[in-house]
Amino acid sequence: MDYRIFPPEQLIEGSVSLPLSKSISNRAIILNALTKNPQPLPTVAACDDTDSLLKALADTSAPNINIGAAGTAMRFLTAFYAATDGTDVILDGSERMRRRPIAVLVDALRSLGADIQYTGLQGFPPLHIKGTCLDGGQLTVKADISSQYISALMMIGPVMTNGLHITLDGEIISTPYIRMTAAMMRQAGVNVDIEGNTISIPHTSYNPGAFQSIEADWSAASYWYEIEALSSGFISLSGLHPDSIQGDAKVSSYFDSLGVCTIFSDQQPDLVELQANPDQAPRISFDMSGTPDLAQTIAVTCAMLGIPFSISGLSTLRIKETDRIEALRVELLKLGVILQIDGEITISWDGRRRPITSLPEFDTYNDHRMAMAFAPVALYIPGIVIRDAEVVSKSYPEFWDHLRSVGFEIIDAATEPQNDNPAS
């Protein structure tokens, strides 16, 4: 469904109960499944990604597992099944998933003794995995690969006969996600040692019942920071921790430069109040190698505020749900913004804008973050359209309902004639 979006008629004021962290939930699900005596988990994030993971693990006898567009599930389950003795499955996904490379992880697992074969194009899903007890030992991988590959390997490290010692060759990207995985493994009783570019994990057993609650998602909070920056309203967000293990908690410091202050409530420690701050930076330059999922939000916010920007560290964006760098280039052009792309890792805008002549209709490319990052544009350009708006179910199914709760009008675009004058 395509949604046409109109901003609230009054100043935005409201409280939002954010969804639970998808990243923490996915790790908790895998770590719990790796225990010798899995216990019922607390409530986890209710979204497509976690649903795919839970469904795959619940049906242990299914010979064919299709996880759709859930990239995290593909990476985590590849390692999980490879290290689970007696498993014999075909792990597959959507057409886009069949074009997302996985050879780096498969090669690493094969070097540790895994039995994994490609059933289609070499280097890509589907995968035929026959699980076995892996030997483990020493492993060297490139440091600039996706942190999900590294996290997948880390989590199965304790069940390997000799544990696992990973050497990351080069400059590490997405460090916060690796540290999140390590923190959760420690919470489950595994002594993970990270020193420089070396991760050491002993052979041991996970403690069952280690996870009693899941904190709210800082990635989801980013869209509300964007809304606050563009509206100067009064927004409070519940479920966020000031000492979060989520790397995307850095969104609060990014938005310090974009006119949003983060205030944790004294009475309710997990309640955040967002307040407008007139001191916006005239230009921003961020290295987002540790927080690439926030890049779309920051780029769109800067474009609407007219703040020139340079965002580096984006080497993984080409192989996400879509090619996010190309998707940003195309969709920002609909706002008159000509995005500059430097190699594979940096995007920038010099602040110049060309006129737009029609009301923007934004494509989402089956990418939840494209939909949510561009929706707040309605605050400046009422009546924009977000195509295939249901893609938000991947991580934040309640997103549109939450926008309505603070006054946005969201209707089926097919029921409303298009206004071709963006200035009206």
3-state SS of 177-218? HHHHHHHHHHHCCCCCEEECCEEEECCCCCCCCCCCCCCECH
3-class SS of residue 78: helix
Give the catalytic positions in this structure: 293
* Chain centroid to CA 279: 29
3-class SS of residue 91: strand
pLDDT in tens, the chain (424 residues): 999 999 999 999 999 999 999 999 999 999 999 998 888 888 999 998 899 999 999 877 778 999 998 889 999 999 999 999 999 999 999 998 999 999 999 999 999 999 999 999 999 999 999 999 999 999 999 988 888 999 999 999 999 999 999 999 988 877 899 999 999 999 999 999 999 999 999 999 999 889 989 999 999 999 999 999 999 999 999 999 989 999 999 999 999 999 999 999 888 878 999 999 888 999 999 999 889 999 999 999 999 999 999 999 888 777 677 788 899 999 999 999 999 998 778 999 999 999 998 999 999 999 999 999 999 999 999 999 999 999 999 999 999 999 999 999 999 998 855 444 454 4
Cα pseudo-dihedral 145, 320, 214, 178, rounded to 10: 10
Cα pseudo-dihedral 244, 245, 251, 257, rounded to 10: 80
Distance, CA of 150 to CA of 76 (rounded, Å): 10
Closest CA to 56 of 95, 98, 91, 88: 91
Place of tokens 């403690």: 207
Residue 166 confidence (pLDDT): 97
Question: What one-character DSSP code corresponds to residue 34?
Answer: T
Distance, CA of 97 to CA of 123 (rounded, Å): 12
Distance, CA of 305 to CA of 353 (rounded, Å): 12
Residue-range domains of the chain with CATH: 3-20+215-415 (3.65.10.10), 22-201 (3.65.10.10)
Residue 380 corresponds to which amino acid? Y
Helix (H), strand (E) at residue 48 = helix 48-58
Residue 424 confidence (pLDDT): 40
Cis bond leading into 376, ω under 30°?
Answer: no
Residue 310 corresponds to which amino acid? S
Residue 417 confidence (pLDDT): 53
Residues 6+ apart with CB under 8 A from 137: 112, 160, 162, 163, 164, 165
The length of the chain in residues reads: 424
Cα pseudo-dihedral 138, 142, 143, 148, rounded to 10: -80
Burial of 96 (0-12, 13-18, 19+ CB in 10 A): middle
Residues 6+ apart with CB under 8 A from 20: 43, 44, 45, 46, 214, 215, 216, 217, 239
Distance, CA of 31 to CA of 211 (rounded, Å): 10
Place of tokens 């014999």: 88
**For 78-126, where are the E strands, in sequence order?**
88-92, 115-118
